[in-house]
Structure 1
């Protein structure tokens, strides 16, 4: 194993064992080349389960937000949405305007909207828009509905034509039926892992499955500002919208900063998932089942990490482990860059 990746693999394997994930995968793209792949474990925690390989596809959970975010950026670029500072109530007419108040689309895509949804489907307000930051799911549902209305089709279909087809992605989709390549998700280590396919392919459910390599290629598309194999398949302005900091300026310093759902690093922040040693301008997306996609433009590197265990890091140390992954990756490439400069 190359010393460049030894620390990263060691960390990934350690977390896999400590958190009872049955599977892990790691893909590194550097300077637009796939320089490292690592696969270990099994598709489930049952006997005779299939070994993980390059075809294995993981449920990426909340990381699917980055796919929806690109569609929102397209809608802004194409003038289908006038502005991120449009009031949400102007777009979601079925919801009481008083509930939305001064909530804007900017609040919706940066997790600063302050809204939540009860188990009965009632939308409630937790805090005033822009006052705090909270990771909730109702903004994703509403924005997915908006993109469907704007383009007349679910956002996965829009992405398939605009992005997946030109890139040749064949292991990225919202699955409704189980198949041999799909990795099961462990909720309780003492119970059999679950089939997490969904009932529809419309992007409204958490049933997006992606291979580690195609997850990394997704990140590399953003790193290259919309180019793939030298061809501009997504306008550069769309990518810039997706991964620029869009969070309201007055949000308290300790909260994360976001683009179109991506976490974007500027300065070390107490409640951010990005490590303090990760270079400014880096961006990341992650999911509750363990996937993390980290893009570091300064080092021209993309790292995709996969697990199949919900709540991989527990509660108390959640942020520490997320930050530490980024810090280890950044340290490795910082050292490598220094060595290359010395040579």
Structure 2
């Protein structure tokens, strides 16, 4: 078994070394069972606690997949009428001219064209639906919209409707330090912290989970909302979250998204999904290194974890992501597909 995953392990270890991450984990779940897992390193650059199955990594922006499921619930339950509803239909406080033509679809697929400056002012970089850019302002708006529609944070819905029924006990928005939390390394020469974002941002930040529970989250989606044979989440909610929802782009290099997930249709130059990853696969990533790749064609979920802020590679970071995805897909591809 170790031989099968040797190349993938070596790749994960090499990027860990290059990026100066103190921790790494790799887990493969296929046909509803864990077929391989590997843990490497320590909870921080100044913490000798070894990484193991109970180590909870800060998944950073990968938490968008959790918000995406909550937004899918809002669509399914009619709280949001349609993805093509204008944002201005739901908010009065945002400037109408700035948000003109911007829909919910644009916000959840990174095609909104909005950004926020250091003073908090929201401005437009390009017309909605005419471009693609990864910014945080859309997450802020969708988090606010969910709370406005339901009267409570999206994190509460997930805890009550998903985490508890699944028995997830090591997936939580941590608010105080604990020995199980893997710290986020910013500068390897300085003490690390389990925090990545301030807790007063109201965005459900600092989500921590283990490699196993991250994989279970992916497997819930792979199984269309079923967990151990029980329908936890409606199938349509999963479909909304993980199918391509992007507008039609004139630029063929732009990636395609579901509700924040990157979804593989035709391979795209700007996508973080490699060209050999099968169509219908989807992936989420955080800037501390966690990556969750779901490959329905191979009935597989692949988890990679790190704890170093900013993904390795600089301007070439997409190349490294695609290389990992391609290698993972080749590794888990059933032999009868060869």
TM-score normalized with structure 2 length:
0.97
Q: Deviations over 1:126-159 (max 9, x none)?
A: 1000111000001101101111111111101111
> What's 1:19 paired with?
19
Determine the C-alpha separation between the residues in 2 that align with 1:62 and 1:281.
Answer: 21
Offset at residue 91 of structure 1 (A): 1.2
1:68-217 residue pairs with structure 2 within 5 A? 68-196=67-195, 200=199, 204-217=203-216
Distance 1:341-1:303 versus aligned 2 partners, 3 A rule: closer
> What's 1:267 paired with?
266
Determine the C-alpha separation between the residues in 2 that align with 1:184 and 1:261.
Answer: 25
1:311 aligns with 2:310: yes
1:33-72 residue pairs with structure 2 within 5 A? 33-46=33-46, 48-72=47-71
Determine the C-alpha separation between the residues in 2 that align with 1:273 and 1:73.
Answer: 22
Q: Is the 8 A contact 1:175 1:198 kept in 2?
A: no
TM-score normalized with structure 1 length:
0.95
> What's 1:2 paired with?
2
Distance 1:92-1:211 versus aligned 2 partners, 3 A rule: same
Q: Deviations over 1:38-73 (max 9, x none)?
A: 111000101x52100111001100000000000110
1:30 aligns with 2:35: no
Determine the C-alpha separation between the residues in 2 that align with 1:332 and 1:11.
Answer: 12
Q: Is the 8 A contact 1:198 1:205 kept in 2?
A: no
1:228-247 residue pairs with structure 2 within 5 A? 228-247=227-246
SS in structure 1 at match of 2:303: strand
Distance 1:53-1:136 versus aligned 2 partners, 3 A rule: same
SS in structure 2 at match of 1:148: helix
Determine the C-alpha separation between the residues in 1 that align with 2:337 and 2:175.
Answer: 49
Q: Is the 8 A contact 2:199 2:205 kept in 1?
A: no
Offset at residue 89 of structure 1 (A): 1.1
SS in structure 1 at match of 2:203: coil
> What's 1:279 paired with?
278
Determine the C-alpha separation between the residues in 2 that align with 1:251 and 1:186.
Answer: 39
Determine the C-alpha separation between the residues in 2 that align with 1:266 and 1:341.
Answer: 19
Aligned residues: CA RMSD: 1.5
Structure 1 unaligned regions, length at least 5:
none
Offset at residue 201 of structure 1 (A): 8.8
Determine the C-alpha separation between the residues in 2 that align with 1:62 and 1:198.
Answer: 10
SS in structure 1 at match of 2:49: coil
Aligned residues: 338
Q: Is the 8 A contact 2:131 2:249 kept in 1?
A: no
Offset at residue 194 of structure 1 (A): 2.4
Q: Is the 8 A contact 1:29 1:301 kept in 2?
A: yes
Q: Is the 8 A contact 1:27 1:212 kept in 2?
A: yes
SS in structure 2 at match of 1:153: coil
4+ aligned runs moved over 3 Å, structure 1: 197-203
Offset at residue 310 of structure 1 (A): 1.1
Q: Is the 8 A contact 2:313 2:320 kept in 1?
A: no
Q: Is the 8 A contact 1:175 1:197 kept in 2?
A: no
Offset at residue 6 of structure 1 (A): 1.3
Q: Is the 8 A contact 1:174 1:200 kept in 2?
A: no
Offset at residue 90 of structure 1 (A): 1.2
Determine the C-alpha separation between the residues in 1 that align with 2:173 and 2:198.
Answer: 9
Determine the C-alpha separation between the residues in 2 that align with 1:341 and 1:128.
Answer: 43
Q: Is the 8 A contact 1:22 1:42 kept in 2?
A: yes
Structure 2 unaligned regions, length at least 5:
none
Distance 1:132-1:216 versus aligned 2 partners, 3 A rule: same
Determine the C-alpha separation between the residues in 2 that align with 1:221 and 1:203.
Answer: 26
